[in-house]
């Protein structure tokens, strides 16, 4: 493999390659000039960075994020579809049809985006929504259903949040994916707030549409979804009691917290058959 | 008070210890970075964004994007403070409780930005709420809905403009709380309208607007205009 030959071949096929990579042509010329001195083992890495920039191909780690998101959306979609297909579970007045519609749309949107970006979307899994027997009445008792729904929604919000910085780049294709992920993220937060509001109004839990503190008993008890929600330091700044309202609640409720991928997977693991 | 710019309250454990042998606490961090609290405060107060003919020009960096968010959080905090000072006629206990929570969250956001934007920030802004009837439930809740939906779309559109991952992460921590607010406000107006078709598209995506669009939509509330013309666009 000879890097100069590769670049020449690309140049024949795409005479704007240098402009695509960098308007400052000289940088590339210099890069090529140094090519013979660059350690051979480092070349593939240097090249892949160059081409990613040139053609905006979506990097593998972004595709991984999209498939991780799709894994969660499949779970949510099947959960709500099953619930809506169960008679006498969800009161029509609670308008959960919006949530089902959105989760279904998210599945399709993510599948399309992954394909368009050159990846392979993960397929739907088999689920056990009783969480291995922890919630045996999940589709017969609305109270239990809402508890699990809240856990899924709050976890989903935190999961997208935890991935946002991995979908950051300076070129268009990835920026578009980041924006779409943020748009899904806030949709999920609306869902979470609604489920929590229903639980509040129904007297099922002493709860608010926002997350106050790290009281994990308010969500799914088997794994600490809200473990970090008591965090009140953001970029060196303690938000506990900020602004003269000396309530700790306002401090913790005003910032949602992210969950790492491995924590999210632990939270949802019992729901996979 | 100089230290108030760095420390939000006095409950923080500040340890005067050897930087090398202990975790970095705030004060030692700033000392290490060559700042004294007093010097930092002076620098901060000297670096307010000046008012010019076109308004407060936010500039073009990550701090400009954060200042844009700071302007919106100031707006929301001022609005809800007015609402809670004297609630509209017929406000239920539930409504008062939820809206008071929202006010406290918005104030926390505002104060957080005020503290994080040490080097260059907007002053305390003044607002024109003459279009709002604070005695009317309809007027207050519909204004809140419009403001919060716009705020969510502002964060969603601005995320890609932030170059520093830490700032993107924090904006993400805030925007989902804004989304929780607007879902709740919309539910108070019409139960079940938490994520209606007017705001979520066929792909299940919430709104995303450019800062310029958001500034245009909210300009009626700002007594002195915000000029986002130098903000990054990609």
How does pLDDT run across B165-202, given as a tens digit for each residue?
999 999 999 999 999 999 999 999 999 999 999 999 99
Query: What DSSP designation does A242 have?
Result: G
pLDDT of A34 above 80: no
> Among A251, A187, A228, which residue's Cα sits nearest to residue B180?
A187
Mean pLDDT for chain A overall: 81
Q: How far apart are CA B204 and CA A31, in angstroms?
A: 44
Interface check for A183 against chain B (CB to CB < 8 A): the answer is yes
Instruction: Check residue A251 and give its pLDDT.
Output: 73
The confidence band for A146, taking pLDDT boundaries of 50, 70 and 90, is very high
What is the rounded CA–CA span in Å between residue B106 and residue B78?
A: 9
Let me know how many helices (H) and strands (E) chain A has, helices first.
Answer: 10, 2
Which pLDDT score, from 0 to 100, does residue B119 have?
A: 76
A33-37, A63-67, A111-115, A117-121: least confident range: A33-37
The verdict on a CB contact (< 8 Å) between B104 and A253 is yes
Residue A30 confidence (pLDDT) above 90: no
Q: Binning pLDDT at 50, 70 and 90, where does residue B50 land? A: confident
Q: How many CB pairs under 8 A join A and B?
A: 218
pLDDT value at residue A246? 54
Confidence of residue A169 (pLDDT cuts 50, 70, 90): confident
Q: Name, in order, each residue with C-beta under 8 angstroms of B225's C-beta and a sequence gap of 6 or more.
A: B54, B55, B56, B215, B219
User: Mean pLDDT throughout B39-43?
Assistant: 49
If you average pLDDT over each of A39-48, A115-124, A252-261, which comes out highest? A115-124
Q: Nearest 5 degrees, angle CA B2-CA B3-CA B5?
A: 85
Reported confidence tier of residue A219, pLDDT bands at 50, 70, 90: low
The pLDDT-based confidence of B162 (bands split at 50, 70, 90) is very high
In this model, does residue A15 exceed pLDDT 80?
A: no
Beta bridge partners of B121: B48
**CB A235, CB B166: distance < 8 Å:** yes
Given this model, what pLDDT does residue A227 score?
Answer: 74
pLDDT grade for B48, boundaries at 50, 70 and 90: confident
Q: What is the pLDDT of residue A242?
A: 65
List of chain B residues whose C-beta atoms are within 8 Å of the C-beta of residue A172: 234
A9 — pLDDT class (breaks 50, 70, 90):
low
Alpha-carbon distance of B208 to B211, in angstroms, equals 10
Q: Do residues A151 and A267 touch, judged by C-beta distance below 8 A?
A: yes
Tell me, rounded to whole angstroms, the distance of Cα A88 from its chain centroid. 32
Whether residue B7 is predicted with pLDDT greater than 70 in this model: the reply is no
Q: In Å, how far is B134's CA from the nearest CA of chain A?
A: 22
Best of A69, A108, A116, A187 to disrupt the B interface (most B CBs within 10 Å) is: A187
User: What are B61-108's pLDDT values in tens digits?
Assistant: 899 999 999 999 999 999 999 999 999 999 999 999 999 999 999 999
A93–chain B Cβ distance below 8 A for any pair: yes
Asked if the model's pLDDT at residue A161 lies above 90, the reply is yes
Question: What is the per-residue pLDDT across A70-81, written as a single tens digit (0 to 9) for each?
Answer: 999 999 999 999
pLDDT at B17: 30
d(CA A94, CA A97) in angstroms, rounded, equals 8
pTM of whole model > 0.90? no
- Give the bridge partners for B226, in sequence order: B56
Q: Answer whether A178 sits within 8 Å of B110, measured CB to CB.
A: no
E strands present in chain B: 51-52, 55-57, 226-227
pLDDT higher than threshold 80 for residue A118:
yes
Rounded to 10°, the helix B137-158/A172-201 angle is 150
pLDDT band at A170 (very low <50, low <70, confident <90, very high): confident
CB contact under 8 A, B180 and A103: no
Task: Map residue A164 onto helix, strand or coil.
Answer: helix
Q: What pLDDT shows up at residue A218? A: 57
Is A74 an interface residue toward B (CB < 8 Å)?
Answer: no
Q: Which pLDDT belongs to residue B93? A: 97
- pLDDT for the residue numbered A36: 44
Q: Are A204 and A148 in contact (CB under 8 A)?
A: no
A102 touches chain B (CB under 8 A): yes
Chain A residues touching residue B12 (CB < 8 angstroms): 238
Q: For residues A81 and A55, give the distance between their C-alpha atoms in angstroms, rounded to a whole number.
A: 39
pLDDT class of A217 with cuts at 50, 70, 90? low
Restricting to A residues 222-261, those with a Cβ less than 8 Å away from any Cβ of B are: 234-247, 249-251, 253-258
Q: Which of A43-57, A196-210, B17-31, B127-141 has the highest mean pLDDT?
A: B127-141
pLDDT at residue A224, rounded to an integer: 75
What does the pLDDT average to over A122-129? Answer: 98
Q: Does A95 touch chain B (CB under 8 A)?
A: yes
Please tell me the predicted confidence (pLDDT) of residue A215. 66
Residue A1: the pLDDT is 44
pLDDT at A182: 98
Lowest mean pLDDT, pick from A60-74, A179-193, B47-61, B91-105: B47-61
Distance CA B166, CA B146 (A): 28
């Amino acid at each position: 493999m000879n890097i100069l030959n590769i670049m020449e071949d690309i140049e024949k096929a795409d005479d704007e390659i240098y402009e695509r990579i960098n308007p400052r042509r000289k940088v590339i010329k210099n890069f090529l000039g140094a090519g013979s001195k660059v350690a051979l083992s480092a070349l593939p890495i240097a090249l892949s960075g160059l081409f990613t920039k040139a053609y905006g191909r979506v990097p593998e780690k972004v595709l991984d994020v999209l498939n991780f998101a799709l894994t969660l959306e499949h779970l949510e979609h099947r959960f709500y579809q099953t619930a809506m297909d169960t008679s006498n579970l969800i009161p029509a007045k609670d308008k959960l049809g919006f949530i089902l519609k959105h989760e279904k749309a998210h599945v399709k949107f993510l599948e399309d985006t992954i394909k368009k970006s050159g990846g392979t979307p993960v397929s739907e899994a088999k689920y056990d929504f009783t969480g291995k027997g922890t919630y045996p009445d999940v589709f017969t008792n609305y109270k239990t259903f809402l508890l699990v729904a809240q856990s899924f929604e709050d976890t989903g919000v935190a999961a997208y949040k935890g991935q946002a910085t991995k979908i950051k780049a300076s070129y268009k294709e990835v920026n578009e994916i980041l924006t779409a992920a943020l748009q899904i993220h806030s949709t999920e937060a609306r869902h979470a707030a609604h489920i929590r509001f229903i639980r509040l109004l129904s007297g099922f839990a002493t709860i608010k549409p926002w997350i106050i503190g790290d009281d994990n008993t308010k969500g799914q008890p088997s794994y600490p979804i809200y473990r970090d929600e008591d965090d009140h330091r953001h970029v060196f700044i303690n938000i506990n009691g900020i602004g003269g309202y000396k309530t700790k609640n306002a401090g913790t409720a005003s910032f949602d917290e992210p969950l790492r991928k491995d924590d999210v997977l632990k939270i949802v693991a019992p729901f996979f058959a | 008070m100089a230290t108030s710019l760095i420390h939000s309250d006095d409950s923080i454990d500040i340890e005067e210890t050897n930087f090398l042998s202990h975790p970095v606490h705030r004060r030692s961090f700033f000392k290490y970075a060559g700042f004294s609290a007093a010097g930092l405060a002076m620098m901060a107060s000297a670096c307010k964004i000046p008012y010019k003919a076109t308004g407060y020009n936010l500039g073009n960096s990550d701090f400009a994007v954060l200042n844009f968010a700071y302007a919106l959080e100031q707006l929301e905090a001022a609005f809800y403070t007015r609402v809670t000072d004297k609630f509209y006629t017929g406000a239920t206990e539930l409504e008062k409780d939820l809206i008071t929570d929202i006010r406290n969250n918005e104030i926390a956001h505002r104060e957080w930005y005020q503290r994080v934007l040490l080097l260059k920030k907007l002053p305390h802004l003044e607002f024109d709420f003459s279009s709002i009837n604070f005695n009317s439930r309809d007027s207050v809740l519909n204004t809140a809905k419009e403001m919060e939906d716009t705020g969510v779309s502002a964060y969603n559109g601005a995320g890609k403009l932030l170059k520093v991952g830490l700032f993107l992460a924090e904006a993400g921590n805030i925007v989902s709380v804004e989304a929780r607010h607007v879902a709740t406000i919309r539910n108070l107006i019409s139960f079940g309208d938490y994520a209606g078709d007017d705001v979520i598209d066929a792909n299940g995506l919430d709104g995303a607007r450019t800062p310029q669009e958001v500034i245009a939509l909210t300009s009626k509330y700002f007594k002195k205009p915000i000029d986002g013309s130098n903000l990054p666009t990609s």
